[in-house]
Amino acid sequence: MSVEAWTTLFVILSFIGYTYIGWRSRVRDSKGFFIADQGIPAIANGAATAADWMSAASFISMAGLISTLGYDGSIYLMGWTGGFVLLALLLAPYLRKFGKYTVPDFVGDRYYSNVARLVAVVAAIFISLTYVAGQMRGVGIVFSRFLQVDVETGVIIGMVIVGFFAVLGGMKGITWTQVAQYSVLIVAYLIPAFAIAWILTDNPIPQLAFTFSDIVPKLNQIQVDLGFSEYTQPFANKSMLDVLFITIALMVGTAGLPHVIVRFYTVPNPRAARYSAGWALLFIALLYTTAPSIASFARYNLIDSLHNKTIEEVQQLDWATKWKNTELLKYEDKNGNGRLELTPDEETSEVTIDRDIIVLSTPEVAQLSPLVIALVAAGGLAAALSTASGLLLVISSSIAHDVYYRLYNPQASESQRVMVGRIMVGFAIAIAGYFGMYPPGFVAQVVAFAFGLAAASFFPVILLGIFDKRTNREGAISGMIVGLTFTAFYIIGVKFYNMPTWFFDISPEGIGTVGMILNFIVTFVVSRLTPPPPLEIQEMVDMLRSPEDAPPALGDIGEEQLD
């Protein structure tokens, strides 16, 4: 069977499985729709969290970035994994103990303010829409290559599938679907890694092959011979300050991502929240410790396959022809010497490779079995769709629960709340599809922007909301507005309006760190210059950190205390 036939088979079988799980997990009440009845076991929630968090950026694009940036690409490994440790230790158990549905729910009740809730809703939607753009691009890329359809058609197919189990099963359906999707994506990532490690180094363990073989020294020498910097040379592509700021932004952004935080509301108790975070770290580590080896193997194979080859030789490579048809791989004999040459200068380089195709193309370049190549495609789809479904539910719950129910119609019945949630999923899918067709960058870059926005908006007010009872609504509202506005202004200005990186040459991916610092300062200072929170709020914050006492029901707070 051909690669396309195997891919079609795997995609159909996996989509049937996801749809069946969504149907079996269908819900009729708001608790099941928004937080899965708080009945997900810790290990299952850990797998679902890993799938929710390891998006198309992790599966498709992260190794591509490391392959392109070399040492400097490690910012994604350090930032994303380090951030999950912060989330597990500082936020997850306390947010689960708080016992609400969403991050805006926490912000609105902790800061006794409907204005704070509304600002948090805007931030959650903004972050989620930015993030989901990367996922839908990942879906389009996989379909455009392996099913030989255009990107727009691929995005539409993905929208239909994810929409079905998100609308029908809500958080419960999404959670159990993500458990299945994690199983698919991790198998799809590890099998080709083992195979390529064995082929290149005679060691089947990718991490050991990367560390103890001669593949990296050989790659360093090849890079130097072609005019690039050494693959392992630090700060060759980014300054030390930018590397630091991007790493911090990714780290604290992870701890502030609403679609990841909401996963800890789905377990029975705070203890289960801690355990599920531990399981998630283990499941994530399986992929993240493999990514550097995949990146180096991929770069070595691509250079070996394309550099100094004639056009005729490259055209005989089936994978190169098919990726060229997607326009994500381009080659042209610019100097007319009959051979393709890779150079550091994009103007003179005769081969251009989109970073988002490196993982997907690696099994083909290594001439692995069509079955393995198709499995990688199915894994990429699982990674993109699992995260997209979680993001769509965040958008849905932010509007249906935090705006419609908490602000507009507090008397809404269970069926009304679930219906509004399902309608909002439909609207969110349509917007996500548009961004999938017209994304503002490559997958991991777009996702990095979302992390920066999360770092600048949610992390400070959640952390201070848990550990500083003096932080009040005036401080939280001011801090979120300042952090989010500054970060969004910088990212949009630099990426879309040619604004220079005027803040110490920090890139848009790293500016979220500055937004976070501004948020902390503004929140802290404004809180000290304005009246303290009501006494019952301060007592609630104290009990939130208590190992035994549960916080008071915030529904008992009078309406006169909410602005």
pLDDT tens-digit map of 289-303 = 999 999 999 999 999
| pLDDT exceeds cutoff 70 at 445 | no
Confidence category of residue 558, pLDDT binned at 50, 70, 90: very low
Quick one: tokens of 505? 């040459």
Residue with the larger pLDDT of the pair 484 and 132: 484
List, in order, residues 6 or more apart from 103 with CB less than 8 Å away: 120, 124, 258, 261, 262, 458, 462
More confident residue, 334 or 472: 472
Architecture of the domain made up of 3-298+369-549: Up-down Bundle (1.20)
Q: Average pLDDT in the 537-546 region?
A: 87
CB 239 within 8 A of CB 69: no
Question: How far are the Cα atoms of 57, 350, 405, 416, 542 from residue 104, in angstroms, in the given order?
Answer: 25, 50, 12, 20, 20
pLDDT tens-digit series, residues 358-395 = 888 889 898 899 888 888 888 888 877 777 777 787 78
Give, as one character, the DSSP assignment of residue 339. Answer: B
Q: Taken in order 193, 195, 200, 204, is the CA torsion positive or negative?
A: positive
The pLDDT confidence band at residue 403, using thresholds 50, 70 and 90, is confident
Which parts of 99-150 fold into alpha helices (H)? 103-110, 114-146
pLDDT band at residue 432 using 50, 70 and 90 as cut-offs: confident
Rounded CA gap, 126 and 401, in Å?
17
CB contact at 8 A, 470 and 428: no
Would the pTM of this model clear 0.75, i.e. be above it? Answer: yes
- List of residues 6+ apart from 52 with CB closer than 8 A: 178, 259, 260, 263, 386, 387, 390
% the chain with pLDDT above 70: 93
Of the CA atoms within 13 Å of residue 388, those in its CB half-sphere come to 37
What is the distance, to the nearest Å, from the Cα of residue 261 to the centroid of all Cα atoms in its chain?
A: 13
**φ, ψ at 339 (rounded to 5°):** -135, 150
Q: Residue 353 is inside which H or E element, if any?
A: strand 351-353
Alpha carbon of residue 526 to chain centroid: 32
Name, in order, each residue with C-beta under 8 angstroms of 339's C-beta and a sequence gap of 6 or more.
308, 309, 310, 333
Quick one: pLDDT at residue 512?
Answer: 94
Task: Fill in the amino acid letter for 538.
Answer: Q
pLDDT digits (tens, 9 = 90+) for 76-99: 888 888 888 888 778 878 888 887
The mean predicted confidence, pLDDT, of the chain is 84
| Percentage of the chain exceeding pLDDT 90 | 30
- Asked if 249 and 512 count as a contact pair (C-beta separation under 8 A), the reply is yes
Q: How many whole angstroms separate alpha carbon 481 and alpha carbon 253?
A: 16
pLDDT at 559: 40
> What is d(CA 255, CA 261) in angstroms, rounded to the nearest whole number?
8
What pLDDT score was predicted for residue 556? 39
Q: How does pLDDT run across 302-353, given as a tens digit for each residue? A: 998 999 899 889 988 888 888 888 778 888 888 888 889 888 887 788 988 8
Cα–Cα distance measured from residue 142 to residue 139, given in angstroms and rounded to the nearest whole number: 5
- Domain definitions of the chain by residue range: 3-298+369-549, 299-359
Q: In this predicted structure, what is the pLDDT of residue 116?
A: 92
pLDDT tens-digit series, residues 128-171: 877 777 777 777 777 777 777 777 887 887 777 777 766 766 77
To the nearest 10°, report the CA torsion of 419, 425, 428, 434: -120
211 pLDDT higher than 50: yes
Which among 192, 213, 237, 206 has a CA at the least distance from the CA of 359?
192
pLDDT of residue 460: 94
